[in-house]
Structure 1
Amino acid sequence: MKRKCPKVKSLLLRLLLFRQTRPVFTEEEKTEFTRLYDRIIQDGGIAPYDSSYPKFRFLQYLSVTKPLLFHGSNYQGIEEFEPRRQTLFDGTYTDAVFSSADGIWPLFYAVLDRSGLTGNIRNGCIVSRRGERFYFFSLSVESEDRYPWTEGMIYVLPRDSFRQASEGKLYFDEWVSEKPVKPLFRLKVSPEDFVFLSRTTWHRSTEPLFKTYLLYKWRSKFGKRK
């Protein structure tokens, strides 16, 4: 039975959350993204993005070809990240800098305007050993009367001081560093760059977490907020 559990969990995630397989890139994308990276890494600072390809594809390409991680924030002038008290996906406290190897999940944090939001935020990127990624994004319905999106920044970080916060056949794509980290460069993003913008749903803050998972795809498809 234990050997079947990961397969059962993976099947359940496919039913409840949005799934993406390991990204595959065309030769044109590889050439374009290599050109962009070579230019950006020399200049540093805010990266000028002049490609017609979506920014999340560029981030995905960097994730699988370079030892880099990503941190999304509304703050656009961070010169160095300092470890601070935060919670991991399982609620455990840690003093660290957080990042992710995923090219989509950090975009949520970059463009979500949390100032003025009430209730809680439920989201994540769960990864399988086969390279599948399962996403969910939901906001408390108590904040539905305000527009929750804004422009933000993706900070591209060196991976050397980070470690994965969890391991296993299914795990959240969280990386932590107990040391200060300086970004290599940053990429300005807008809500339109977040590919799950229209698939972000609403839940009541008192709703059990399992119910949010259970109803996530249904709410996303039919625009149900409660």
Structure 2
Amino acid sequence: MVLDLLAFAGVMALGQFSPGPDMLLLTRTSLAEGARQGARMAAGIATGLSLHAAVAVGGAAILFDRSPWVRTTLSVLAAGYLLWLAWRLFMEVFVRWYSGAKEEKAELPAHGSAYRRGLLCNLLNPKVAVFLAAVTAPFLQGPRPGWWPAGLWTIIVVEGLVLWIGWAWVLQWRPVRGAYLKAQPVLDLVFALVLAALGVLMILGVRT
């Protein structure tokens, strides 16, 4: 039983660090706004993850199969949110280059707290629930103690929160953050392009 929990934690760790909207947004926020904002965003992502995990562990993920419109609606909302974030980042890069501010930040007014951005990014992505349902299904089979589903849910949420906050702090390592600050406009443009690409791919996925 302990080995099963360790195996599940290992699989989840790989999933939580896989490339995607959450990791992309967390990485950029931590580099640009610091570890505290990164930790707040990690808390927002973990809050969304807690709801997805409850759906997956509770077996309600079949809702997406029985009611495709639910998944389609969430995908469209998620794509729109990613495109909006990409547009804001494009505008920040444009303002910074236009003003010629290399040392000072020349950004648009704040567009929501880091916690809320992380929450929406995770909560609106139906692929999170689908992934969790696929990963948890094998670990829910067979005779298990009554606390088992709650244990899996705890691993998903707590491990994600701890790892993401740790990642936000690792990105504060001086060589890493210094390299980012030197090339911030270019890297922010790359982040914006990737966010926009993820949004477009999500829309194409809905259409197909």
Q: Name the TM-score, length of structure 1 as normaliser.
A: 0.27
Larger strand share, 1 or 2: 1
Larger-gyration structure (1/2) = 2
Which structure would you say has the larger RCO, counting Cα contacts within 8 Å and 6 or more residues apart?
A: 2
Q: Name the TM-score, length of structure 2 as normaliser.
A: 0.28
